[in-house]
Structure 1
Amino acid sequence: MTSSINMLQHMISRLRFSGKLLHQNIIRCSSTATPAPKIRQMHAKESPALAISQTADGARLRNADLQVIHGLDKDGYFLGVNDQGEIVGTIGAIRLTDELGFIGFYHVTEKFQNKGFEEKLWEKAIEHLGDRNIGIEVAVDDVQKCQDLGFKEEWKTGRFQGVGVNLPPEILVNKAIRPLQGMAMGKVVDYDTSTSGIHKVPLVLGWCKAPSTGYAALEDDERVMGYGVIHPLHNPITHRIAPLLTENVSIAQMLLLTLLSSIPNQKVFIDAPLRNPSFTRILTMDLKMEQIGETVRMYTKGNPGFPVQKAFGILSPDAGC
C-alpha cells in the first residue's frame, strides 16, 4: 500500500495547480504545460518575498517577522525566478518536526499561472517534506479538492477584525497576569513547546521581543498557564494577536483584554480556531469583532496533536503553528 505522501505525489502528477492555495486559497486545475521558471531555495535575506502571498485585508506581516518565520526551516522555502531574475512564485515547505511538515506562503504571479509552474513548486515542497504528515490551510470552498488529494479536514479557523479597547486600570489589575518583558522567557518557551509539541525556541523568542507586547498568566507557584502576544503588522497602527495559547477560555479572556487595552482604538486581527465557541462569542458579542474570513486546517495523516482547545489565537496559518 502506498503511503499518503506517495499518493499525494501521484495525484499532483495528474493535476496542475493555479491560483492561490493558502492565504489566497484557490486551487484550480490547469491544462497547459509550458517551460517553468527556475526554482531554488530562498535565502533568509529574501524572506520579504513571502509577503506577496499575504492577503490584502491589511494583515500582512512585517519583513522582520517573515525573516523570523523563515528560521523555522531555513532550507524549506523556495522561489520561482524568471529569466529576468524576477520572483514569480513562492512556497514554504516547513519541517516543523521529524514527523510533521506544513505547506504555506504559496503564490504564483498571474503571468505564470496555468502553465505547469505551480505543479513544479508543489513537487519541490513535497520532496522537501518527505513522508511527514503534511498540513495546509485552505478556503472552505477548496476542502473537497484537497480531500481528493488525500488531506483530511481537522478544524476551521476564523479571521476576526476589531479595535483595541479602553479599560480602566482597576479592571486590568490581576496579579496572575505578568508582562513578558523582564520575565525568564525559558518558562514561556517551555510552556509553548510542551503545549504545541513543536520545539521552536528562536521563533518564540524572536516573536515576543520588542516591538511586540506580551503577557503571561501564572499560577501562585509561578507555573505558566498561558501567554499571548500582540504584534505590530506591516501597515501602521495595525496589530495581530498571535499567539494566544492558554489552558482555558477564562485565562484567554483575561490575556485578550490585557493585550487589547495596550492598543486602544487601533485595528487588530486574530485568527481563532472555531472549536472554541465560547471564545468566539467573546470576540463577536462582547468585543464586537467582525469575522472577515474562514479557512480550514487539513493534514494528510490527521491532526498531529495540535492543541486546538488551547489555541485561541494562531501565530501563522501559513506556518502551521
Structure 2
Amino acid sequence: MTAATIRTMRPDDLSLALDWAAAEGWNPGLGDAACFLAADPDGFLIAEEDGAAIGCVSAVRYGDGFGFLGFYIVRPEFRGLGHGMALWKAAMARLQPGVAGLDGVVAQQENYRRSGFVLAHRNIRYGATTPRPPRIAAAPPVVAADSVPFIVLAAFDRRFFPAERDAFLRRWISAPGHVARLVMGPQRPRALGVLRPCREGSKIGPLFAEDPVAARAVFAALIAEAPPGPVFLDLPEPNADAIAMAAEAGMAPAFETARMYAGAAPTLPLRMIYGITSFELG
C-alpha cells in the first residue's frame, strides 16, 4: 500500500468533499463550495493514495487566533488504516497556534476529547417538512440584508463569531439561491438570518438576534421564502428561546453535534444565537 499524500484542495476537490458529506447525511448547501473557499482558500485538505482521493478535512483559519475544523471524512473502505489520523494531524498543525473549534458528531466526540478538545455546548438540528410561522405579537419590518451597507452587517456578525469573516459573509449573503433578511433597530441591526438551498430542502443559518421578537420575524420571513422541501435550523442547545421558537414552528430534533474547543473557548452570546452558520465552518 502506497502512503497517502495530503495536499490543499483545488475547487473541484471541494465539490467531491461535498458529495462525501452528502453521503454521510450532512446535507450540504448547493452553493457551499464557493462560499467555503471564500472563508479560507487554503483551508481544505485532501488525502490521496495512488492518485485517488480517499479522505478530506477542513482547517479554516480566521485570522491568526481562531480556526475551525470540519469535513473530516475518510472513505469507508480506507478507514482504520491511519489515514484519518494523518489528516487530523495536518489540520491541527495548520491551526496552530490559536484556538480551534469544531462541531463533533456523537461517534467522534471521545476521540476529540483525547486530542484536547473540551465540550462547550451541544448543537441540535431541528427540522420540519412544512414549518409554521411562529407567533409574533407585533412583527417589526423585515428587509433584504443588502438594503444596508455591508459594513453594518459585518459589524453585527462580529458580535456572534469569534473572529472577522467578512470575505465569507459577503459571499454567503449573496450566493445564488441564498435569502438574507434583516430587522433594523434605530442604529444597528436587531436580527440577521440567511436561508440557503441544500441537497435536501434548505437550512437557516446564521440566525442572530438581539431579542425574541426580531428572531421570530426574520425566521418567519425566511421560511416563507423557502423552496419546497424540509427546512432545518441548527441551534445551540443553551438558547432555550430558540428551542421554543423551533417547537412553535412544528420542528423536531433530527441530529446533534458537540461544539468543542481546543484552547480557551470564546465567549459568545448564545442566548442571541438562534441558528449557527454551518457545522463545517462554525
Cα deviation code 1:97-123 (max 9, x no counterpart): 311111110111122111111111111
- CA distance in 1 between counterparts of 2:72 and 2:119 reads 19
1:166 and 1:265 in contact (8 A); partners too: no
1:156 and 1:274 in contact (8 A); partners too: yes
Which of 61, 67, 75 pairs up with 2:42?
Answer: 75
2:170 matched to 1:205? yes
- CA distance in 1 between counterparts of 2:127 and 2:166 reads 28
1:59 and 1:269 in contact (8 A); partners too: no
2:204 matched to 1:241? yes
- CA distance in 2 between counterparts of 1:118 and 1:165 reads 38
Cα deviation code 1:184-238 (max 9, x no counterpart): 232112211243242111211111114211211111x242122001111134xx1
Gaps of at least 5 residues in structure 1 are 1-33
SS of residue matched to 1:196: coil
Identity in percent: 22
SS of residue matched to 1:71: helix
Decide which moves more: 206-215 or 289-298: 206-215
**2:215 is matched with which residue?**
252
**1:216 is matched with which residue?**
182
- CA distance in 1 between counterparts of 2:22 and 2:281 reads 12
2:251 matched to 1:280? no
- CA distance in 2 between counterparts of 1:58 and 1:265 reads 19
Shift of the alpha carbon at 1:256?
Answer: 0.8
Letter in 1 for 2:177: P
| 1:112-151 matches, cutoff 5 A | 112-140=78-106, 142-151=108-117
**1:31 is matched with which residue?**
none
2:3 matched to 1:36? yes
2:126 matched to 1:160? yes
Cα deviation code 1:61-103 (max 9, x no counterpart): 22x32221122121121111221x3211111011123111111
- CA distance in 2 between counterparts of 1:190 and 1:72 reads 17
**1:5 is matched with which residue?**
none
**2:190 is matched with which residue?**
225
- CA distance in 1 between counterparts of 2:79 and 2:25 reads 23
SS of residue matched to 1:189: helix
Letter in 2 for 1:93: A
- CA distance in 2 between counterparts of 1:157 and 1:264 reads 24
Shift of the alpha carbon at 1:318?
Answer: 1.3
**2:141 is matched with which residue?**
176
SS of residue matched to 2:277: coil
Cα deviation code 1:123-175 (max 9, x no counterpart): 111111112111121134543443233211101000111134576xxx89845
Letter in 1 for 2:204: I
Letter in 1 for 2:274: F
Shift of the alpha carbon at 1:275?
Answer: 0.6
4+ runs deviating over 3 angstroms: 54-58, 140-145, 163-167, 171-176
1:36 and 1:116 in contact (8 A); partners too: no
- CA distance in 2 between counterparts of 1:79 and 1:110 reads 15
- CA distance in 2 between counterparts of 1:65 and 1:78 reads 16
1:91 and 1:107 in contact (8 A); partners too: yes
- CA distance in 1 between counterparts of 2:137 and 2:229 reads 18
Letter in 2 for 1:179: A
Gaps of at least 5 residues in structure 2 are none
Which of 100, 122, 128 pairs up with 2:66?
Answer: 100
- CA distance in 2 between counterparts of 1:200 and 1:178 reads 22
2:53 matched to 1:87? yes
Q: Report the TM-score when normalising by structure 2.
A: 0.89
Which structure would you say has the larger Rg?
1
Q: Report the TM-score when normalising by structure 1.
A: 0.79
2:254 matched to 1:292? yes
Shift of the alpha carbon at 1:58?
Answer: 6.8
- CA distance in 1 between counterparts of 2:66 and 2:264 reads 11
**2:272 is matched with which residue?**
310
2:29 and 2:202 in contact (8 A); partners too: no
Letter in 1 for 2:36: I
Shift of the alpha carbon at 1:42?
Answer: 0.7
Letter in 2 for 1:65: D
Letter in 2 for 1:214: A
1:164 and 1:266 in contact (8 A); partners too: yes
